[in-house]
Structure 1
Amino acid sequence: MPERPASSQGGTLIVVGVDGHKNSHTLVAVDPLGKRLAELTVTARPAGHLKALAWLRDFGPVLVAVEDCRHLTRRFEADLLNSGHAVVRVHTRLMAGARRSARERGKSDPIDAEAVARVALREPDLPKASLDGPSRGIKLLVDHRRTLVAQRTAIGNKLRWFLHELDPELAVASRGLRRVCLLDQLAQALTEHRGTIAAIAAELVADCRRLSERVDALEGQIRRLVAVQVPHLLAIPGCGILGAAVLIGETADATRFTSKAAFARFNGTAPIPVWSGNKVRVRLNRGGNRTVNHALHMIAVTQVRGDGEGAAYFAKQLTVGKTKTEALRLLRRRISDRVYRALLADQADPVQSLDPAPTTPMKLAA
């Protein structure tokens, strides 16, 4: 039988840590000093979620901290938010120190859940969870497009070897296999060849054509969504449709960052301090969200090739002795700040989402 929770007293906020898995969720409640009060393990099913919500009611107001494994806990987070609970996410790397400092050694679901709760007590600026909005729909489309492009690339690489074996004159230019008209010409040319290789090559050409059509359709769908959702972001020079889609999909909600510096730490454009004494030094941050970092890098490269504000800033950094790499990093951080302001401006002027209806909230028994 699970322990009976002790209600919060005197307005003291209790923190509940959640260690999520595919088939079960373990919850551990701790007081403001980090002392374990109670624990509960429920199935990762609607009935288990209802049991957990009923268990949480006995505490009064609580802060729920969830290990950041959204593919496992997304539905549970939605049920918690729909029930009025404040939910924050704890990155898994923050839990290691909490486990090492605990009295109970080892690793188990209750130990991990308690570590999640203690991190929430220690870290005041953890990202807040929110219900899925338009950004997740865009992210799913971008990820799906990336998967299809990778499949097309793999098929295209194999096809090129078969074409070279059949007839070296059938060589295809770089990036040519994404053009439907060229694929149609290849399919017509392969009808003149016989044998197993020609048959397989014809199938690969058909697969490339199908994937190219699907990729183009997804790009059109992404374009329509992004153009409506983030006009301020698209106004940034060098920011195209796919780059903007990556930024809003990976960022999810710009308001979860307390400042532009926090957003820069998230995307890896903020340098890491490595100094002691009087001389202040920093080094390159190779962490953060590398997908967002790459999108910012492409915007920076595009601006440098033009003659606008970004190119002028880049040239100014070169005149003061910065290398091209250092100047590009500084420009990338500058663009990160502008992207953060644009995302906030777009979220302040929301539009209707084209996503499906949000998750229906669960109802607790009286």
Structure 2
Amino acid sequence: MTSMTLDPPLTNPLPPGSELVAGVDTHKNTHHVAILDLVGRPVADREFRADGRGYAQIVAFLHAHGDVVRIGVEGTGSYGAGLARALTTAGLTVIEVARQDRQARRRRGKSDPLDAHQAAVAVLAGTDTAIPKSGDGAVESMRIPLAERRSAAKARAQVMNQIHALLITAPELVRQAFRALSGQRLVNTLAKTRPGTITSADPAVVARQTLRRFAVRHLTMQAEIDLIEQQLEMLVRQVNPTLLSLSGVGPVTAATLLVAAGDNPERLGSDADDIAAVLHYRVERATARPAGSGRTRKPARLIAGLIPSAHGVIDVEMRAALDEREELIEARADAVLEAALTESTPWTNALGVAPTDRRRAATWRKAARVVAAYRDRHRVTDEAALGAPPESAAQKIDAARARAALRQATDIATAPSGTRPQVRAELQSRRL
């Protein structure tokens, strides 16, 4: 099935000195440029190569037709990134234009000249436009290792899933040897095993060999992630160390928020002189709990049982940053709890012993993770599970949530086997 399209006229002579706008449809190998006057009449359009030489030709093409006041570029974060930087360097004003939705494309047709024409029309109308990220400073340097860390974290999680999957189907002797281990302790133990030579055809030996290779891969990914996070922390401290003082914001979250803002934070609004304050305000606004009608009170969804999660309508970049922040906080809480259990630190005695039943153990661990997150967030170092009495109002709220989780963990650990303690009803009665 084909769609009919009508390309705009190639030229439309204008008086000298007339102001113009342009639109660019970007692709991997070519860019198509369309120039319009301020009432939307086509002036010229042409296709160029998507490389340094082509960028110079585009700049010359725009200057040759008059005073181009604004240029709408599609995909300034992907195929149009190099062109946007070249146009900005040439002193031209670049506007980021969103690609048309499918409904509009079905209605108007699809071709490179039409897409470039529509990008210029969007600039004229001021619809679906934004100030693009400059992508030429230290924040751009954060974006690159952030993408690298994201792929390494996915690979690490995939390896852990493969370890668990193999242990489910492995011979019974292998399963029995590692049944009581989990998390980082399981990985460290597997990496230290000596399963024998690769010439063996015994399934148990082959399973142990594969498990060891999985564990070594997991440790390699973890070492890579640790190195990336060190680099990100140095970059964040160079650009805006104030972000690291915000609650629940570490190097990775700070870098993610800065990347969402870009190297030119003025694109966020007129009051963006202090980028840390602006980002802090936007995070607080995204996680603030809206006032209800008074008839119902739906509990807020909490990250690690403590921190309100984002909700409502949020722009795409901020949503991605907040989602990654949530994943990092959850992973951090899991790591703190795992380390405390592995080292048998004194405060874990208050949690009781984890039950052997899988479902009850999962509930116990979830409650224990809230306590671990509280200790980590408020830097509690006492042997008591919750440390000294809280001082600030915010810590008092967190302490109440952690106290309820501690009671839940204790109830589960001390309940007779085969029974389910009525923890949920108790927690609902204590909910703030």
What is the aligned partner in structure 2 of residue 74 from structure 1? Answer: 81
- Give yes or no for the alignment of 1:88 onto 2:95: yes
What is the aligned partner in structure 2 of residue 45 from structure 1? Answer: 51
- Give yes or no for the alignment of 1:149 onto 2:153: yes
- Are the equivalent residues in 2 in contact too, given 1:19–1:27 (CA < 8 A)? yes
What is the aligned partner in structure 2 of residue 168 from structure 1? Answer: 176
What is the aligned partner in structure 1 of residue 139 from structure 2? Answer: 135
- Counterparts of 1:47 and 1:209, CA distance in 2: 45
Structure 1 stretches lacking a partner, 5+ long: 272-282, 316-323, 325-366
- Counterparts of 2:251 and 2:96, CA distance in 1: 29
1:18 to 16, 20, 24: 24
- Are the equivalent residues in 1 in contact too, given 2:10–2:42 (CA < 8 A)? no
What is the aligned partner in structure 2 of residue 255 from structure 1? Answer: 266
What is the aligned partner in structure 2 of residue 269 from structure 1? Answer: 286
- Counterparts of 2:142 and 2:78, CA distance in 1: 16
- Give yes or no for the alignment of 1:292 onto 2:321: yes
Q: Are the structure 2 counterparts of residues 169 and 231 from structure 1 closer, same or farther at C-alpha, using a change threshold of 3 Å? A: same
Q: Mapping of 1:26-41 within 5 angstroms?
A: 26-41=32-47
Q: Are the structure 2 counterparts of residues 48 and 171 from structure 1 closer, same or farther at C-alpha, using a change threshold of 3 Å? A: same
- Counterparts of 1:267 and 1:116, CA distance in 2: 34
- Counterparts of 1:159 and 1:270, CA distance in 2: 36
2:222 to 212, 219, 231: 212
Post-superposition offset of 1:231: 1.4
Q: Are the structure 2 counterparts of residues 118 and 310 from structure 1 closer, same or farther at C-alpha, using a change threshold of 3 Å? A: farther
Secondary structure at the residue paired with 2:130?
Answer: coil
Residues 209-237 of structure 1, C-alpha deviations (whole Å, 9 max, x = no match): 21111111111111111122211212222
Q: Are the structure 2 counterparts of residues 294 and 220 from structure 1 closer, same or farther at C-alpha, using a change threshold of 3 Å? A: same
Mean CA deviation greater in 198-207 or 105-114: 198-207
Post-superposition offset of 1:295: 5.5
The one-letter code of the counterpart of 2:237 is A
Mean CA deviation greater in 57-66 or 186-195: 186-195
Q: Are the structure 2 counterparts of residues 309 and 62 from structure 1 closer, same or farther at C-alpha, using a change threshold of 3 Å? A: farther
The one-letter code of the counterpart of 1:255 is E
Secondary structure at the residue paired with 1:237?
Answer: coil
What is the aligned partner in structure 1 of residue 416 from structure 2? Answer: none
The one-letter code of the counterpart of 2:50 is A
Q: Are the structure 2 counterparts of residues 211 and 284 from structure 1 closer, same or farther at C-alpha, using a change threshold of 3 Å? A: closer
What is the aligned partner in structure 2 of residue 202 from structure 1? Answer: 212
- Are the equivalent residues in 2 in contact too, given 1:268–1:288 (CA < 8 A)? no
- Counterparts of 2:70 and 2:102, CA distance in 1: 21
The one-letter code of the counterpart of 2:82 is R
What is the aligned partner in structure 2 of residue 332 from structure 1? Answer: none
Q: Are the structure 2 counterparts of residues 78 and 7 from structure 1 closer, same or farther at C-alpha, using a change threshold of 3 Å? A: farther
Residues 118-147 of structure 1, C-alpha deviations (whole Å, 9 max, x = no match): 111111872144242111111111121111
What is the aligned partner in structure 2 of residue 60 from structure 1? Answer: 67
- Counterparts of 1:176 and 1:168, CA distance in 2: 18
Alignment: residue pair count: 295
Q: Mapping of 1:115-126 within 5 angstroms?
A: 115-123=118-126, 126=130
- Counterparts of 2:119 and 2:53, CA distance in 1: 23
Post-superposition offset of 1:172: 6.7
Q: Are the structure 2 counterparts of residues 198 and 115 from structure 1 closer, same or farther at C-alpha, using a change threshold of 3 Å? A: same
- Are the equivalent residues in 2 in contact too, given 1:88–1:129 (CA < 8 A)? no
- Counterparts of 1:4 and 1:35, CA distance in 2: 10
Residues 128-170 of structure 1, C-alpha deviations (whole Å, 9 max, x = no match): 4424211111111112111101101111111223345223331
- Are the equivalent residues in 1 in contact too, given 2:21–2:68 (CA < 8 A)? no
The one-letter code of the counterpart of 2:58 is A
Post-superposition offset of 1:5: 7.4
Post-superposition offset of 1:98: 7.2
Q: Are the structure 2 counterparts of residues 40 and 160 from structure 1 closer, same or farther at C-alpha, using a change threshold of 3 Å? A: same
Secondary structure at the residue paired with 1:70?
Answer: coil
Alignment TM-score, normalising by the size of structure 2: 0.58
Alignment TM-score, normalising by the size of structure 1: 0.68
Secondary structure at the residue paired with 1:88?
Answer: strand
The one-letter code of the counterpart of 1:82 is T
Identity %: 25
- Are the equivalent residues in 1 in contact too, given 2:12–2:42 (CA < 8 A)? no
- Bigger Cα Rg: 2
- Counterparts of 2:106 and 2:49, CA distance in 1: 28
The one-letter code of the counterpart of 1:52 is I
- Counterparts of 1:291 and 1:36, CA distance in 2: 38
- Give yes or no for the alignment of 1:185 onto 2:189: yes
Post-superposition offset of 1:68: 2.5
Residues 181-223 of structure 1, C-alpha deviations (whole Å, 9 max, x = no match): x645323334269632222222212211211111111111111
Post-superposition offset of 1:61: 3.9
Post-superposition offset of 1:112: 0.8
- Counterparts of 1:241 and 1:267, CA distance in 2: 18
- Are the equivalent residues in 2 in contact too, given 1:270–1:285 (CA < 8 A)? no
